[in-house]
Amino acid sequence: MLYHWHEFGHAAAWPGRTAAEMWLQFLNPLNPLTHTPFGRGAAAGCELFERATRRYTKPEFGIKTTKIGSDSVEVAEETVWDSPFCSLVHFKRDIRPALAARQPRLLLVAPMSGHFATLLRGTVEVFLPYHEVYITDWQDARHVPVSVGRFDLDDYIDTMAAIFRYFEGNVHVFSVCQPSVPVLAATALLEADRDPAVPRSLILAGGPIDTRINPTAVNALAQNKGTAWFERNVITHVPWPLEGCGRQVYPGFLQLSGFMMMNLDRHIQAHREMFHHLVQGDGDSAARHRKFYDEYLAVMDLTAEFYLQTIDSVFVQHLLPRGLMTSRGRMVDLSAIRRPALMTVEGEMDDITGTGQCSAALQLCAGIPVNRKSHFECPAVGHYGIFNGSRFRREIAPRVSMFVRMHTSPGPPETLRRVATPSTSAIIANIPNRRRISEDRLFPNPSMLLSKPTQRRVGTRYCAQSRDGRTSTPAPP
């Protein structure tokens, strides 16, 4: 009944929302009352009420152009692979096929964790000038009919393996957070089968590979409550008249509530500032608020079986790092992974995936040579900042692009410097800082690519810090 009460709440707020929209139409720029203190306050209050009671639908990527060198080229979205629960979207650039063939293919595996793949819009925009970019666009479970069947963690792994086979091995994978586990599992199974579709490299950003390391509040909640508690308290049925009526799901609105409660004071302050920006006529600040929350408040439902299996195997039993994970009765052996290069990315201030949880993959994937492994911990960024925001654009994306290009062509990779990482007790390779990279191959500012973060001691672990010691405010939640 939880989902039904949520839908009832939306319906009950409809008269008030309609009245707020009518007032906003009345308080238009041509109305002199709009420009009075009363009018500005009334319009600001109506907009905040309308936004608080609105149903946020799936946003569009809206990427129409990108810049390659000094030229602006058109971008078109095309679906190149499809299933009931996932579509593979290619951002096709209007460039010569010969140029497109020279630029590495990059698959962005978006998390299926409540938000739509459009949350990675900024990630796509950063990589588009230098790569053929694809992204997994997961479908909202409430719009998938029950007749289609189930979708659990094993189906997720099968989906990733099928997408890898579509590329026939000619792809680099950038996995953001949650999909890091199924991406590694799918790769391990392909390696065990000697399948040629194994990706050329894997880049894992903030993935919960081993949540026993530096557990966060999210990890502790799952560990303390157990899988049965989540099944009793957060699983419900999709109500009529939605297409997925009757399907058991973990509703997106519940996950959104959990995210917002972790930083409730920041969200309240953000909306308070939004009100003042509207009253003061600060349209630019208000526009930035709308852009962020239009994306952040758009959520999707997850199938109950996928959510519960992920909670149990990843966060409660820790099956992957313990070497006990199976998929359809087959053992997932990470030591079988040998062909792809492996890079992990973490954020120093990540409060969802603790530092060391993702880089644990470097030790677990023992079959990959040390000189094909790399790790980067970005200073002063949280979970959102490892795939979006200014720090991502300046410090993470260039390193990812350089790592991809280093492992695009067949042949022995370059020798990389090795440094010990106490959090994983593994030998991790860092990006070299002496090799010059031509500007036309990577990013406009090659000096950024070649700077190697220094290490500073914090308690019993190490974290990266830029040479000039600069820090920045953490990205929005």
pLDDT of residue 409: 64
- Given this model, what pLDDT does residue 438 score? 38
Q: Which residues lie below 8 Å from residue 291, measured CB to CB, with a gap of 6+?
A: none
**Going by DSSP bridges, is the β-strand pair 105-109/71-82 parallel, antiparallel, or unpaired?**
unpaired
CATH number of 65-223+302-465: 3.40.50.1820
Cis, bond preceding 241 (omega within 30 deg of 0):
yes
Q: How many residues does the chain have?
A: 477
Between CA 227 and CA 291 the distance in angstroms is 35
Q: Could you read off the pLDDT tens digit of each residue along the chain, which spans 477 residues?
A: 778 777 777 778 888 888 888 888 887 888 888 888 888 888 888 888 888 888 888 889 999 999 988 889 999 999 999 999 999 999 999 998 888 888 999 999 999 988 899 999 999 999 999 999 999 999 999 999 999 999 999 999 999 999 999 999 999 999 999 999 999 999 999 999 999 999 999 999 999 999 999 999 888 889 889 999 999 999 999 888 888 889 999 998 888 887 777 778 888 898 888 888 888 888 888 888 888 888 888 889 999 999 999 999 999 999 999 999 999 999 999 999 999 999 999 999 998 899 999 999 999 999 999 999 999 999 999 998 999 989 999 999 999 999 999 998 643 333 333 333 333 333 233 333 323 333 343 343 433 333 444 443 333 333 333 333 433 333 333
Domain boundaries, the chain: 2-55+265-296, 65-223+302-465
pLDDT at 54 (0 to 100): 83
What is the reported pTM?
A: 0.81
